[in-house]
Structure 1
Amino acid sequence: MQVSETEFGLIRIFSVDEPESGSALFDHDLNSEDCLNLVQSALGATHLDPDYGELFAVADLEEVGLRGYMVQGLGIAEADVTQDALRLDALSGTVLVVLSKAFGGHAQELSPKSPLRWVGTYREEKAPVHYEPLPSSGSAGVVEEVPHPHQPNPHLNVLWAVLALPILLIFVGIIGFLLFK
């Protein structure tokens, strides 16, 4: 079973074959280091984030059932679940659910071994994209470009002052020379 580094939206379901003695192989808490190590080893995974996996007894789902949980809780298309109804309804005992995010973008090859038995891989159903017109007519029409008023450049004012000052001094010098001659 290949997991790519860009895998997204896949949900893998495994059945846990418990021993006939009735003692649980896993403590159903993937956040416990012992349980996580056992599950990771049984999956053959090199990386597994416990926040994106679940280990639980099918009986705990009560009236919702495994198929209902897959549709309502995991977002799998009902048609996909109905297609595998006989196989899913036959499951009892403990189930392991692993989401794509559990692999944290690490490409790896899974090789599940006892006590895990692969049940199926399902895809999360994506909500269809639906575009609706905006509710207000105030947003209708074309936005016109508004001209910006011309603002004087302060650097040009300095340049004019630098150029005008010598001309003014020459003009005042000529007038002074003519008056006091």
Structure 2
Amino acid sequence: MSETFHIKATERGVIRIFMANLTTEQAETFTQSPDEDTPAPINRALGVSNLNTDFIELFPLSNLAGVGLAGYLVEGLGVAEEDVKPHASRLNAMSGQVLIVLSQAFGGFETTITPTAPLKWIGTYTEEGSAVKFEPLPSEGAEVTPGTPTGKPPKSDARVGGMIAMYALIAMFIFVGLLIWVAG
């Protein structure tokens, strides 16, 4: 029975692993379209029309000698070690061609894939995301958000003009009072 996978348009960081029952010669052309009108064999095997092969890896597992598929998932693709550890012995014991399909291969479009021969689904893993930490802000100044007024608002031109006129009137009142006092 074939597995069916629904890929959301917003999917990010999901890694799907397939065994590819291909010879070395078949693997060389599996991701390549023979011409513009004919989809590549990988498109038919996954059941999709559009696929960005920049986010697909197809290679013999013998290339991972010393690291193993489990190590490659952790060190090369950023999957959390605790997610891979329960399957590590099974992943590292595999041989033949492996196909790794990253979320970006579907170009941000919602789609459904149903892998068929020569592909066999092995597992789906998620890239380890960096944990988000919420710490108190270091100072009160850092708490101000852009656009938030700080301190007193600037004085308008009318207010400044009114203040000058008021001070001028007070000065004139004092001056007139002095004149009357001196004359008197």
Corresponding position: 1:107 with 2:114: no
Aligned residue type for 1:89: N
**Counterpart selection for 2:9 from 5, 22, 28:** 5
Equivalence map 1:16-165=2 (5 Å): 16-18=20-22, 22-27=23-28, 30=31, 32-34=32-34, 37-131=40-134, 139-140=139-140, 145-152=150-157
Is the CA contact (8 Å cut-off) linking 2:17 and 2:122 kept in structure 1? yes
Long gaps (5+) in structure 1: 157-181
Distance of 1:4 and 1:127 partners within structure 2: 22
1:76 and 1:145, CA in 2 relative to 1: closer, same or farther beyond 3 A? same
Distance of 1:41 and 1:29 partners within structure 2: 10
- What is the number of residues matched between the two proteins? 149
Distance of 2:136 and 2:110 partners within structure 1: 42
Is the CA contact (8 Å cut-off) linking 2:45 and 2:115 kept in structure 1? yes
Long gaps (5+) in structure 2: 162-184
Deviation for aligned residue 1:64 = 1.8
Aligned residue type for 1:150: K
Aligned residue type for 1:6: T
**TM-score relative to the length of structure 1:** 0.69
* Superposition RMSD in Å: 3.0
Aligned residue type for 1:14: F
Deviation for aligned residue 1:78 = 0.9
Distance of 1:87 and 1:34 partners within structure 2: 35
Distance of 2:20 and 2:150 partners within structure 1: 66
**TM-score relative to the length of structure 2:** 0.68
Is the CA contact (8 Å cut-off) linking 1:46 and 1:108 kept in structure 2? no
